[in-house]
Amino acid sequence: MAISREDVLHVSKLARLELSEAEIEKFTGQLGDILDYISKLNELDTKDVPPTAHVLEITNVFREDKVDAPRIGSIEEIAPEFHKGHFRVPKVIE
Amino acid sequence: MNEIISLSVHELIEKLRAREVSSEEATRAYLGRIEETEERVHAYLSVLEEEALAAAQEADKRLAGGDNDASPLLGVPVAVKDLLCMKGTPTTCASKFLENFISPYDATAVRLLKEAGAVILGKANMDEFAMGSSTEHSAYGPSRNPWNLETIPGGSSGGSAATVAARSCAASLGSDTGGSIRQPAACCGVVGMKPTYGRVSRYGLIAFASSLDQIGPFARNVRDCAIMLNAVSGHDPLDSTSTDESVPDFTGDLGAGAKGLRIGIPKEYFIDGMDPDVESAVQNAIKTMEENGAEIHEISLPHSQYALPVYYIIASAEASSNLARYDGVRYGLRANGNSEEYGPLYGMYAASREEGFGEEVKRRIMLGTYALSSGYYDAYYTKAQRVRTLICREFEDVFQNVDVIMSATAPTPAFRFGERMDDPISMYLSDILTIPCNLAGLPGISQPCGVTSLDLPIGLQIIGKPFGETTVLRAAAAFEKATDHHLALSPL
């Protein structure tokens, strides 16, 4: 399946990836090849087959609603910018 | 060769308990071996000399006091893949994005290793965010295969496999999403096991594809592998997908032999383009098992050919979602950027991700985002999940009549650096025989079953039923006992 330069630019925006010109060119060809390979799945009729999201039969696990002792160390030390209990980010609202 | 590093885990445990060797001696021997081999192998991203020696001295105190049954790995030097968080130490996931990240907590698997008394020597190299089959996608340069330094060690847990093969640790942990333990184990001539999905807690494992990722051990023989698995298995309230299935002693059936074991050989796993040396080594392994009393059944898994495309949709989709957390806000890299169209916050996200991620990670995020995007979700993601159901059912049916499935781990031995870097699909094909097991959540092991004419190791894969690790290990131990492939050492 051919994938266009516009498709690549659209998806890179959705993924918040700023691609270089060389990457845009390379990915346009490679993603098309990979999608071609993947289209093999269309050989199979799966309309009556339920999807598997997960192999285990899992159900929600609830715990008592109480605060545990903190399990992790300081998040301030690993934050790019931290200010009075908050993560600092570039201006969002004008 | 230093005598201590030639001991396997269970031999070292005996000597430690008998006080013939101290943990500090063992740890210093391995640190010396790391120094001797790292320049050539580059199996480690960080070596934790100070922490390891402190843990070893602590272990020696406890060994002197006796009664250490609760700490089965007391004093044993091991390595862990650099996607497992270890408090106070760097965890980079082989990415520039996490270059300066110091983990604020221990992964459950790391905590359990420490509680078992293991000495953690360092963090092993890997493909960035576990995406790759060769470690060539590590942002810090690849590891080299101790059997032949011109070839890849496999991936993504290539460092964890290479350090065991180089004898620069006694055993190690890796993670397996589509073959990332078994394929490097095969390339490096060591034993590597992916347990059943849910067997080992993923808390503190940096996520790649959450419905597939599973932590497991690398070791020099099957018994060591079982001992390592004993240490890290079990239910964990911090991982909602860890099961409360009871954990048996994985060493329990190691001596039960091959007699009466029903082994299925899937004809679809002898694929076109398979290396002839690999094929004949696997045929010999089947013969060996039969001679030792196993029943051999030819079986068919016709949907195997769809496993790779299913995997690349599901794993990439889950990765694109999991890796959305790398946004430059809370931890990891932040780059300055601005977007005239979308504003400064978008600009910061995009610039950080552009600078922090390598090419393969971007390629998979792009593929996954595309597969999940509006208009394509059903055609790709839901379709892949439906075919995943067919693959799971096929295994269920086959396991009505056999106890384990045997095949090659990978269709070829380790390839040379650069050989598959420009063609993502050829790289992905390295995992064609290991991926179905992940899609169905089954346990699988790779163990050495010979070498090629170029002296590169060949891996034998044994797959079991859900929570059937003891049977997989029994079969592997029976093969190991009948042969001596596991004793072959890398020339390093």
Report the alpha-carbon distance of residue B274 to residue B432 in Å, rounded. 11
Q: Quick: pLDDT tens for A14-64.
A: 999 989 999 999 999 999 999 999 999 999 999 999 999 888 877 777 888
**B129 — contact with chain A (CB < 8 Å)?**
no
- pLDDT of the residue at B428: 86
Q: Quick: pLDDT tens for B31-90.
A: 999 999 999 999 999 999 999 999 999 999 999 998 787 899 999 999 999 999 999 999
Look at residue A72 and tell me whether its pLDDT is greater than 80. Answer: no
Q: Which residues in chain B have their CB less than 8 angstroms from residue A53's CB? A: 211, 385
Look at residue B1 and tell me whether its pLDDT is greater than 60. Answer: no
Report the alpha-carbon distance of residue B198 to residue B252 in Å, rounded. 21
Look at residue B208 and tell me whether its pLDDT is greater than 60. Answer: yes
Q: Count how many pairs of residues, chain A against chain B, have C-beta atoms within 8 Å.
A: 166
The residue written with tokens 């760097």 in the block is B90
Q: Which residues, 6 or more positions from A32, have their beta carbon under 8 angstroms from its beta carbon?
A: A1, A2, A3
- Residue B91 · residue B83 · CB < 8 Å: yes
**A17 — contact with chain B (CB < 8 Å)?**
yes
- pLDDT of the residue at B320: 97
- pLDDT of the residue at A1: 65
Please, how many CA atoms are within 13 Å of residue B436, restricted to the half-sphere of its CB? Answer: 29
Query: Is A90 in Cβ contact with B347 (below 8 Å)?
Result: yes
Query: Is B320 in Cβ contact with A15 (below 8 Å)?
Result: yes
Q: What is the mean pLDDT of residues B2-17?
A: 95
- pLDDT of the residue at B157: 98
Report the alpha-carbon distance of residue B208 to residue B195 in Å, rounded. 17
Measured distance between the N- and C-terminal CA atoms of chain A, rounded to whole angstroms = 42
Apex B446 CA angle, B441 and B448, nearest 5: 175
Q: At what angle do helices B9-17 and B222-232 cross, to 10 degrees?
A: 70
Testing the interface with B: which of A8, A11, A71 to mutate, by most B Cβ within 10 A?
Answer: A11
Instruction: Nearest by CB to A72, from B104, B333, B392: name it.
Output: B104
A16 in a structural domain: yes
A46 in a structural domain: no
**A32 — contact with chain B (CB < 8 Å)?**
no
Which of A58, A28, A42 shows the shortest CA–CA distance to B313?
A42
Which of B347, B385, B239 shows the shortest CA–CA distance to A52?
B385
- pLDDT of the residue at A54: 85
Domain holding A18: CATH number? 1.10.20
Instruction: Nearest by CB to A41, from B333, B366, B383: name it.
Output: B383
Query: Nearest CA to CA, how far is A82 from chain B (Å)?
Result: 9
- pLDDT of the residue at B57: 97
Query: Is B363 in Cβ contact with A30 (below 8 Å)?
Result: yes
Which residues span the domain enclosing A21? 5-41
Q: Quick: pLDDT tens for B132-151.
A: 999 999 999 999 999 999 99
- pLDDT of the residue at A61: 75
**B178 — contact with chain A (CB < 8 Å)?**
no
- Residue B388 · residue A52 · CB < 8 Å: yes
For residue A15, what is the nearest residue in chain B, using CA coordinates?
B369
Please give the biggest Cα pair distance in chain B: 72
Q: Tell me which DSSP letter residue B175 carries.
A: E
Report the alpha-carbon distance of residue B108 to residue B237 in Å, rounded. 10
Q: What is the mean pLDDT of residues B117-123?
A: 98
Q: Which two tokens stand for residue B399?
A: 């396991």
In chain B, which among 310-339 make CB contacts under 8 A with chain A? Answer: 310, 312-313, 320, 324, 327-334, 337-338
Report the alpha-carbon distance of residue B79 to residue B228 in Å, rounded. 12
Which of B417, B395, B428 shows the shortest CA–CA distance to B183?
B428
Would residue A84 be called left, alpha or beta, if left means φ above 0 and alpha means ψ between -120 and 50 degrees? Answer: left
Query: Nearest CA to CA, how far is A25 from chain B (Å)?
Result: 12
A18 in a structural domain: yes
**A25 — contact with chain B (CB < 8 Å)?**
no
**A51 — contact with chain B (CB < 8 Å)?**
yes
Q: Which residues in chain B have their CB less than 8 angstroms from residue A42's CB? A: 383
Strands (E), A5-90: 82-83, 86-87
The residue written with tokens 């715990």 in the block is A63
Q: At what angle do helices A5-14 and B359-372 cross, to 10 degrees?
A: 90
- pLDDT of the residue at A24: 95
* Confidence category of residue B172, pLDDT binned at 50, 70, 90: very high
Q: Which residues in chain A have their CB less than 8 angstroms from residue B198's CB? A: 56
For residue B204, what is the nearest residue in chain A, using CA coordinates?
A72
**B33 — contact with chain A (CB < 8 Å)?**
no
In chain B, which among 271-290 make CB contacts under 8 A with chain A? Answer: none
Query: Is A92 in Cβ contact with B343 (below 8 Å)?
Result: yes
Testing the interface with A: which of B370, B374, B385, B425 to mutate, by most A Cβ within 10 A?
Answer: B370
Look at residue B492 and tell me whether its pLDDT is greater than 60. Answer: yes
A83 in a structural domain: no
User: Can you tell me the ipTM of this complex?
Assistant: 0.94
**B61 — contact with chain A (CB < 8 Å)?**
no
Q: What is the pTM of this model?
A: 0.97
Query: Is A15 in Cβ contact with B366 (below 8 Å)?
Result: yes
For residue A73, what is the nearest residue in chain B, using CA coordinates?
B104
- Residues of B with a catalytic annotation lie at 81, 156, 180
Q: Which residues of B106-144 are buried (b: 16+ CB within 10 A; e: fewer)?
A: bbbbbbbbbebbbbbbbbbbbbbbbbbbbbbbbbbebbb
Query: Nearest CA to CA, how far is A87 from chain B (Å)?
Result: 7
Report the alpha-carbon distance of residue B313 to residue B308 in Å, rounded. 9
Q: Quick: pLDDT tens for B334-374.
A: 999 888 889 999 999 999 999 999 999 999 999 999 999 98
Query: Is A37 in Cβ contact with B425 (below 8 Å)?
Result: yes
Element (H, E) at B408: strand B404-408
Look at residue A73 and tell me whether its pLDDT is greater than 80. Answer: no
For residue B327, what is the nearest residue in chain A, using CA coordinates?
A16
- pLDDT of the residue at B2: 75
Q: DSSP letter string over B452-484?
A: -TTS-EEEEEEEESTT-HHHHHHHHHHHHHH--
Query: Nearest CA to CA, how far is B107 from chain A (Å)?
Result: 11
At B263, give phi and psi (nearest 5°): -110, 125
The residue written with tokens 């071996």 in the block is B33
Has domain B1-492 been given CATH number 3.90.1300.10?
yes
Look at residue A82 and tell me whether its pLDDT is greater than 90. Answer: yes
For residue A45, what is the nearest residue in chain B, using CA coordinates?
B387
As for how many domains chain A has, the answer is 1
A20 in a structural domain: yes
Query: Nearest CA to CA, how far is A30 from chain B (Å)?
Result: 8
- pLDDT of the residue at B31: 98
Q: Which two tokens stand for residue B201?
A: 């807690």
Burial of B305 (0-12, 13-18, 19+ CB in 10 A): middle
Report the alpha-carbon distance of residue B62 to residue B195 in Å, rounded. 30
Q: What average pLDDT does the structure give for chain B?
A: 96
The residue written with tokens 């299935």 in the block is B245
Please give the biggest Cα pair distance in chain A: 57
Helices (H), B104-238: 108-115, 158-165, 182-188, 222-232
